[in-house]
A = this chain, B = another copy of it.
């Protein structure tokens, strides 16, 4: 990679120093891309731990001080807090400061930005979504290599300045990520299918065990590694997923409907004992997944 065009960030402000914000800080620091990192967060214990681990250099709740002369603001709090944080930063944003975020949904974040930020700040706003994470949350889960080889999708607005897009792109690349650019609605649709829907299905599976069977403990005694992996994402942050469900509500509802129709088709094949078609579906499912895994690893 040619680093010559990348300018180092002097002052980086991270709002929400958890798994995502903390890992961004660790990776940029390791890449030598940042001088000074200020963290803003609600949870005092978490912020203290971020300081102790050297993830951030400084923590404050004073937005004016934090944003003064900031080169980049990285929004990495749960999506549900976007409006509040936009309101908090809006009065203190300076014209040179680039703002980017890590929200799992993009149309709602853009709507909030348009609502709360001045047009000169919107021109420096680069909506983004790193497709990386684990089911763990908090700065304790932050990893320097979390973004290595992962996709980051940027969904800039028409009025976003190319300098801002390039800077954010280069920072993510310095974290080891592969950057793609697409329209926000396309992003939200893709993620509804490949991320939001599976999360809902896994959460629902756990709820069903607990609520539907009334006997989860003895059932789980005999659950194997397949069940463990299938439900891993049901260990994700409840607050984050509540917010995602609401932020991408319309698209998600559409996908749940479509999935249910598909499930009914499979159910009907089982009902009708259609061996050939069932086997065919399972072969296809396996083949698509194998091709994907091979491409992913190549």
Contact = CB atoms under 8 A, between A and B. Distances in A.
A85 interface: no
A254 to B, nearest CB: 11
A133 B223 CA distance: 12
A284 interface: yes
Interface residues on A, range: 35 or more
Interface in A228-265: 228-236, 238-239, 241-242, 245-246, 249, 252-253, 256-264
B259 A204 contact: yes
Interface in A171-230: 180, 190-191, 193-195, 197-213, 216, 218-230
A205 B198 contact: yes
Contact of A207 (B204, B242, B266): B266
Contacts of A220: 194, 288, 292, 295
A6 interface: no
Interface of A: 131-135, 150-151, 153, 180, 190-191, 193-195, 197-213, 216, 218-236, 238-239, 241-242, 245-246, 249, 252-253, 256-264, 266-267, 270-271, 273, 275, 278-286, 288-290, 292-293, 295-296
